[in-house]
Chains A and B, each alone.
Chain A
Amino acid sequence: MGTVAGYVLKKRLSGNKRYPLVLMLEPLFRCSLACAGCGKVQYPPHILKRQLTPEECFAAVEECGAPMVSLPGGEPLLHPRIVEIVNGLVARKKYVYLCTNALELKQRLPEFTPSKYLTFSVHLDGQREHHDFSVCREGTYDIAVEGIKEAVRRGFRVTTNATFFDGADPGSVRGFFDEVMDMGVEGIVLSPGYSYDKAPDQNRFMGRARVRRLFSAILSNRKPNWKFNMSPLFLEFLMGKRNYECTPWGSPAYNIFGWQRPCYLLQEGYAESYKELLETTNWNEYGVASGNPKCANCMVSCGYEPSAVIEGFGSLKGFLAMVRGTFSSYRDENAVKLLDDSVPQANLVQIEKPERVLEETNA
């Protein structure tokens, strides 16, 4: 946190208006899953076989200068030189989040070295049945959990990351938070799904109003053991307690095509350098205020968490709000009603609902 705070303050003091916080470094697009909500992996085989070299990864990291590097994909553990890439990033003192479906995590752990700079961010979209259904393959939850437990046992930093779509059962999500905290993870990362126009399923992306109701139900009346590895202000944004404009340059994306324009989610061509991306993208055409329909439902962390982080570390008011958010349980009786009223969609796997009462929280 101190590194990011210092970085934001330094950028603000230098008058820099557009700077990156997290580099989304996609070393390859190949994946071992075929999730219906993912629009990242639909490419011809000759594209899926390509991958960034470690040298290309390091050059991108040094070019943009972000203090944090997320390694999504594709599945990064399928990259034959991923250990070299991770070690090189750690040597550069970058905070690395290796995003993995964890199908191979347990077997690959001996190749990695625990470090404060390295976190395995394991894709888990909910409780066992929900996750398996979401990633379109049975058995993946159990394999991922085995990987998580082994990583924790070996002293690695581990978080889970979840994407939620329309039909998510907020009660089950809260049960899922209990489960993952019991596994010993450091925190939970979560985001609503983005309506990728290349995703096979185009009918389950939530609009903003529904996102806010869902996350209000999920994130209000928090239990004391829940930890989120995210800005508290971003979580308030998801709950509808504050509004932000998108900061697309906050999480620039680099992959085999170059610097993705304008952001990690939209794909309107590629710049050949980070400088070119910043200087030649018409940023006014993106974000909710632009009215761009491609941005209309987006509340995804790669665009809005940088806005929250910049507010949190950029002013005393923002910092105090962040501190308050860190220690608040967000007691809200209306959210309990939202939980009770939620009806999971019939086409999704049903998990028996536990009785929900406000007293179960630390409120």
Chain B
Amino acid sequence: MTAEVQKYTFEQVEALELAPGSEHEDLEGWVPTLATDAELRDALEKALDYRGDVTLTLKSGEKIEAFIFDCKNGATLAESSARYYTPAAPENRKVCFAEIARIEFTGKDRAAGKHWEDWVKKYNERKAAGETNIGLAPEALE
């Protein structure tokens, strides 16, 4: 986060007409290389931002399906940890960065797709076809 601050001056911010939207990073299916500590930290930062589950393989060989929602970055990997929910357990859990051997972005990215333009196009097509009660529905909870 710290590296991003001071990107805009106050005058630039005040003059903004349209807020620059975020570019959605396509991470679904990604398996990052974790050769260095920096690569592991970067991958976990992306996992924290990812709206889907990831699969963590620990150095012990254990595999964990996890939705990561918090990372605490310490000076070393041993002092850093991530908190997550796993589908099978009611409580959240914590894993030390130093225990992680592999990260796979295995879960569906729930923030991908469903653009406004798609909705407008679909609405207009269905309206033209004479449909009523047109709408988008939330995804099923499976």
User: Does A209 lie within 8 Å of B21, measured CB to CB?
Assistant: no
* In the assembled complex, A270 has its CB within 8 A of some CB on chain B: yes
Q: Which residues of B contact A50 (CB under 8 A)?
A: 85
Given contacts A36-B114, A137-B136, contact A209 B17 (CB under 8 A): yes
User: Does A44 lie within 8 Å of B53, measured CB to CB?
Assistant: yes
Given contacts A50-B85, A195-B19, A296-B16, contact A34 B7 (CB under 8 A): no
A22-81 CB contacts (< 8 Å) to partner B: 30-34, 36-37, 39, 41-50
CA of A284 to CA of B90 in the docked complex: distance in angstroms? 35
A206-222 CB contacts (< 8 Å) to partner B: 206-210
User: Does B133 lie within 8 Å of A138, measured CB to CB?
Assistant: yes
* In the assembled complex, B119 has its CB within 8 A of some CB on chain A: yes
B26-53 CB contacts (< 8 Å) to partner A: 48, 51-53
B1-36 vs A, Cβ < 8 Å mask (1 yes, 0 no): 110111111101111111111101000000000000
Interchain CB contact (< 8 A) of A195 among B10, B13, B21: B21
* In the assembled complex, A343 has its CB within 8 A of some CB on chain B: no
CA of A49 to CA of B9 in the docked complex: distance in angstroms? 42
A-B contact pairs, 30 of them (CB 8 A): A33-B136, A34-B138, A36-B119, A41-B138, A43-B110, A44-B67, A44-B110, A45-B140, A45-B141, A45-B142, A46-B85, A47-B67, A166-B18, A195-B22, A198-B111, A200-B113, A200-B116, A204-B116, A206-B19, A207-B15, A207-B17, A208-B13, A208-B15, A210-B17, A257-B69, A285-B5, A288-B13, A291-B9, A293-B7, A293-B20
* In the assembled complex, B103 has its CB within 8 A of some CB on chain A: no
Chain A nearest CB: distance from B92 CB in Å? 8
Chain B nearest CB: distance from A45 CB in Å? 4
User: Does A34 lie within 8 Å of B136, measured CB to CB?
Assistant: yes
* In the assembled complex, B70 has its CB within 8 A of some CB on chain A: yes
Closest A residue to B23 by beta carbon equals A202
CA of A204 to CA of B18 in the docked complex: distance in angstroms? 7
User: Does A39 lie within 8 Å of B111, measured CB to CB?
Assistant: yes
User: Does B10 lie within 8 Å of A288, measured CB to CB?
Assistant: yes
Closest B residue to A140 by beta carbon equals B135
* In the assembled complex, A201 has its CB within 8 A of some CB on chain B: yes
B95-142 CB contacts (< 8 Å) to partner A: 107-108, 110-111, 113-117, 119-120, 123, 132-142
Among the interface residues B19, B20, B83, B141, which one has the most CB atoms of the partner chain A within 10 A?
Answer: B19
* In the assembled complex, B71 has its CB within 8 A of some CB on chain A: yes
Given contacts A136-B135, A288-B13, A291-B5, 7 further A-B contacts (CB under 8 A): A34-B114, A43-B51, A138-B133, A202-B21, A203-B116, A209-B17, A297-B13
User: Does A205 lie within 8 Å of B67, measured CB to CB?
Assistant: no
Interchain CB contact (< 8 A) of A297 among B1, B6, B16: B16
Chain A nearest CB: distance from B84 CB in Å? 10
* In the assembled complex, A128 has its CB within 8 A of some CB on chain B: no
CA of A278 to CA of B1 in the docked complex: distance in angstroms? 18
**Number of residues on chain B facing chain A (CB within 8 A):** 58
* In the assembled complex, B61 has its CB within 8 A of some CB on chain A: no
CA of A50 to CA of B1 in the docked complex: distance in angstroms? 28
What residues of chain B have their CB less than 8 Å away from a CB belonging to chain A?
1-2, 4-10, 12-22, 24, 48, 51-53, 67, 69-72, 83, 85-87, 92, 107-108, 110-111, 113-117, 119-120, 123, 132-142
* In the assembled complex, A113 has its CB within 8 A of some CB on chain B: no
Among the interface residues B13, B67, B86, B139, which one has the most CB atoms of the partner chain A within 10 A?
Answer: B13
Q: Which residues of B contact A14 (CB under 8 A)?
A: none
Closest A residue to B134 by beta carbon equals A138
Given contacts A257-B69, A296-B16, contact A42 B5 (CB under 8 A): no
Chain B nearest CB: distance from A189 CB in Å? 21
Q: Which residues of B contact A49 (CB under 8 A)?
A: 141
CA of A46 to CA of B89 in the docked complex: distance in angstroms? 10
Q: Which residues of A contact B137 (CB under 8 A)?
A: 34, 137
Q: Which residues of B contact A34 (CB under 8 A)?
A: 114, 136-139
User: Does B142 lie within 8 Å of A133, measured CB to CB?
Assistant: no
CA of A50 to CA of B117 in the docked complex: distance in angstroms? 31
User: Does B21 lie within 8 Å of A203, measured CB to CB?
Assistant: yes
User: Does A198 lie within 8 Å of B51, measured CB to CB?
Assistant: yes
Q: Which residues of A contact B107 (CB under 8 A)?
A: 44
A247-267 vs B, Cβ < 8 Å mask (1 yes, 0 no): 000000000011000000000
Interchain CB contact (< 8 A) of A290 among B5, B22, B71: B5
* In the assembled complex, A362 has its CB within 8 A of some CB on chain B: no
